[in-house]
Amino acid sequence: MKMNRLVAVLGLSALCVCAQDVRVLPVQGNISMLIGPGGNTTVQVGKEGIVVVDTQTAAAAPQVMAAIRNLSDKPIIWVINTSLDADHMGGNEALIRLGGSADASQRARVVVHENVLNRLVARGASQDRVSDAATVNDTYFRSPKDFLFNGEPVMVYHMPAAHTDGDSVVLFRRSDVLSVGDIFTPDKYPAIDLANGGSVQGLIDALNWILEMAVAGKYQEGGTQVIPGHGRLCDEADVVEFRDMVTIIRDRVQDMMKKGMTLAQVKAAKPSRDYDTQYSGSADAFVEAIYKSLAARKP
Amino acid sequence: MSKPVLLALPAVLLGAAAFAQADFSGEWAPLYHEDGPERLPGPELGDYTELPINDAARLRADSWDADRISVVEQYQCRPHGSDYSMRGLGNMRVWREIDPATQRLIAFHTHMLAWDSERTIYVDGRAHPAGYAPHTWQGFSTGVWEGNMLTITTTHLKENYIRRNGVPRSDQATVTEHWMRHGDYLTVVTVIDDPVFLTEPLVRSDNWYIDPGQHIGIFGCEHAPELPKPVGVVPHHLPGTNPYLREISEWYGIPYEATRGGAETLYPEYRQKLKDYKAPPKCDRYCTCTTLFDCQLR
């Protein structure tokens, strides 16, 4: 009996720790950022309901929903996935089940760029992702897709061939917040998913686009807030550092390729070595993706 | 009649104890008797002396191209981090924030001439925010008293530099300052711990004197395209191609290896490695440099 009670207490403690794993950070305007095990989720709340950008994983959905319920008791009406990654859309079904409306007319709309759905249902695609694909009911192919919700224009822009070829960036125009997914990860090397249509030039173009859209406050601080796919809340100045890093390493790899160096030689030269102490993730994989991406561009 | 007096006495004594700590309020002007050439005209390119940097920081600095602060518009109005601001690149105002209900000190505030930077140093025991909170140029500062010395811990800094020639300081750094007031003088010892770019803490000191009559003007800055470059260009030197790195060695007669910095070069034992070094016969660059007005190139 005592042991059972101990197990029950331990189990409850574990649940409490999990529930605390999703933190809520008010950003500005109607926007909050949820920091959880699957990365970052952006939430807009208001009288009309809730917009969720990126749903993390199915396993994290109860904690994500509990965190959302700290912000609003309204139903989730819009879900936007910034890419096809499982840690960005794996929680769609569970989150809508937990927080969507029972009213069929208010069924949650799940927005992705059409390339996301095309890849998830392509011949040979992983069966593990069927349930994620099944949640999508609102694809777009002309950028931006926009709608007005809670009195705020929500603009969904397609970033072609960046982290993948189905990346979306969401601008909450009145709150002045950008939710940018894995195009920007301030303390981690970017994952350029070549197999899913990503490219280094597309990534740099997307980062430069974010810089054009963001307006910094006085002396390059504050202003437009940028919610990355993973990592801390940022602003334009933080994106500049990241863009510079990607651009400089790209330039170095490009220069080595012009000199005829092979992929193995480029990797051995460690063109990212002055950034490796700052950014987590595999430097080798990042350099390899740049090399292959640049090689694919050659005529 | 005597009872209320007795009851009031401890409160008066407690209040006196609370305010026995130093007050840094006032208008402060920087003194440049330390590291004048670095702080006034600015450091020479490739000068990493006295910095315990690692290889990553060295290559980042070697790659740095000063064109970046013009070509990349977002750099044009980028202020110093609060650690670099204390190098005294402009005058400073300090004032106290007192809780009106308790008359206890909540925070010191600082205003710097450079970029109108304002900073809050909380001394009310509050905790630092979580790691996912925004980082700023000034960071998040809390102070604790050690006698009359205020020891300040700053985290949540945006990436910046520890020297204005491209030597970086990361957003993961923790900066500790010790503020000590001696009458009309303020001494600030700054210790930077940066797991990304330093192999050991970087310790520097700066001095200020009280200047009640000073007026700090508005800084002002507006970014604008200055050069017709395509969007997204980031000026930098490819590894091994920066032509300016040996200038400091040639101009000042310092062995090139010593200019490259690193913890080893900070200590007296390093002189053994330089036993064949001969100092130049006379100084001919920035020989007098204690104020903005006497800091002439030659």
Test the B interface: residue of A185, A274, A280 with most B CBs within 10 Å: A274
Q: Which positions in chain B touch A221 (Cβ < 8 Å)?
A: 79, 136-137, 158
Residue type, B185: Y
Q: Which domain holds residue A262?
A: 18-297
Q: Has residue A299 got a pLDDT over 50?
A: yes
Which residue in this structure is represented by tokens 């090399």? A291
Q: Would you say how long chain B is, in residues?
A: 298
Q: HEC string of chain B?
A: CHHHHHHHHHHHHHHHHHCCCCCCCEEEEEECCCCHHHHCCCCCCCCCCCCCECHHHHHHHHHECCCHHHHCHHHHCCCCCHHHHCCCCCCEEEEEEECCCCCCEEEEEEEECHHHCEEEEECCCCCCCCCCCCCECCCEEEEEEECCEEEEEEECECCEEEECCCEEECCCCEEEEEEEEECCEEEEEEEEECCCCECCCEEEEEEEEECCCCCCCCCCCCCCCCCCCCCCCCCECCCCCCCCCCHHHHHHCCCHHHHCCCHHHHCCCHHHHCCCCCCCCCCCCCCCCCCCCCCCCC
Is residue A197 domain-resident? Answer: yes
Q: Has residue A249 got a pLDDT over 50?
A: yes
Is residue A10 domain-resident? Answer: no
A132-153 pLDDT, tens digit per residue, is 999 999 999 999 999 999 999 9
Whether chain B has a CB inside 8 Å of the CB on A21: the answer is: no
* Closest to A152 (Cα-Cα) out of A234, A71, A31: A31
Lowest mean pLDDT among A15-19, B13-17, B174-178, B195-199: A15-19
CATH code for the domain in which residue A290 is found = 3.60.15.10
Is residue A206 domain-resident? Answer: yes
Q: Which positions in chain A touch B60 (Cβ < 8 Å)?
A: 274-275
Q: Which positions in chain A touch B170 (Cβ < 8 Å)?
A: 278
Residues whose CB falls within 8 Å of the CB of residue B230, separated by 6 or more in sequence, listed in order: none
pLDDT bucket at B296, cuts 50 / 70 / 90: confident
Q: What is the pLDDT of residue A298?
A: 66
Q: Are the beta carbons of B170 and A234 separated by less than 8 Å?
A: no
Q: Residue A160 half-sphere exposure, CB side, CA atoms within 13 Å?
A: 5
Q: Are the beta carbons of A221 and B56 separated by less than 8 Å?
A: no
Residues whose CB falls within 8 Å of the CB of residue A209, separated by 6 or more in sequence, listed in order: A157, A159, A169
Which residue in this structure is represented by tokens 């790195």? B245
Is residue A1 domain-resident? Answer: no
**Hey, which residues 248-267 in chain A have their CB within 8 Å of chain B?**
248, 251-252, 255
B72-110 pLDDT, tens digit per residue, is 999 999 999 999 998 877 899 999 999 999 999 999 999
Buried b (16+ CB within 10 A) or exposed e, A254-271: bebbeeebeeeebbeeeb
Work out the widest C-alpha separation in chain B, in whole angstroms.
Answer: 85
Contacts A–B by Cβ distance under 8 A = 98
Shortest CA distance from A40: residue in chain B: B132
Q: What is the pLDDT of residue B20?
A: 53
Is residue A7 domain-resident? Answer: no
The chain B residues in contact with chain A (CB within 8 A) are 54-60, 63, 68, 72, 74-75, 77-79, 115-117, 130-137, 158-159, 170-172, 195-197, 221, 231-232, 234, 236, 238-239
Helices then strands, counting H and E runs in chain A, come out as 10, 13
Lowest mean pLDDT among A165-174, B10-19, B105-114: B10-19
Q: Has residue B167 got a pLDDT over 70?
A: yes
Are B67 and B60 in contact by the 8 Å Cβ rule? The answer is no
Is residue A144 domain-resident? Answer: yes
Q: Are the beta carbons of A273 and B170 separated by less than 8 Å?
A: no
Q: Are the beta carbons of A237 and B170 separated by less than 8 Å?
A: no
Q: What is the pLDDT of residue B298?
A: 65
Is residue A2 domain-resident? Answer: no
Q: What is the pLDDT of residue A51?
A: 98
Q: Are the beta carbons of B196 and A278 separated by less than 8 Å?
A: yes
Query: Which is more confident, A124 or A242?
Result: A242
Q: What is the pLDDT of residue B31?
A: 92
pLDDT bucket at B18, cuts 50 / 70 / 90: very low
Which of A187, A216, A274 lies nearest to residue B59, judging by beta carbons? A274
Query: What does the pLDDT average to over A235-252?
Result: 98
Q: Are the beta carbons of A219 and B130 separated by less than 8 Å?
A: no
Q: Has residue A17 got a pLDDT over 60?
A: no
Are B56 and B172 in contact by the 8 Å Cβ rule? The answer is no
Whether chain B has a CB inside 8 Å of the CB on A24: the answer is: no
Q: Are the beta carbons of A237 and B239 separated by less than 8 Å?
A: no
Q: Has residue B14 got a pLDDT over 80?
A: no
Q: Are the beta carbons of A244 and B234 separated by less than 8 Å?
A: yes
Question: What integer best gives the mean pLDDT of chain B?
Answer: 90
Shortest CA distance from A26: residue in chain B: B133
A47-84 pLDDT, tens digit per residue, is 999 999 999 999 999 999 999 999 999 999 999 999 99
Q: Which long-range contacts (CB under 8 A, 24 or more apart) does A266-269 make?
A: A266/A291, A267/A291
Q: Has residue A87 got a pLDDT over 60?
A: yes
Is residue A276 domain-resident? Answer: yes
Q: Has residue B12 got a pLDDT over 60?
A: no
CA separation, residue B213 to residues A67, B26, B209, B210 (Å): 53, 10, 12, 9
B210-253 pLDDT, tens digit per residue, is 999 999 999 889 999 888 889 899 999 999 999 999 999 988 88
Lowest mean pLDDT among A5-9, A168-172, A173-177: A5-9
Which of B137, B158, B238 lies nearest to residue A252, judging by beta carbons? B238
Q: Are the beta carbons of B55 and A274 separated by less than 8 Å?
A: yes
Q: Are the beta carbons of B132 and A221 separated by less than 8 Å?
A: no
Strand bridging mode A145-149 / A138-140: unpaired
Say how many domains are in chain A: 1
Chain centroid to CA B4: how far? 50
Q: Are the beta carbons of A233 and B196 separated by less than 8 Å?
A: no
Whether chain B has a CB inside 8 Å of the CB on A73: the answer is: no
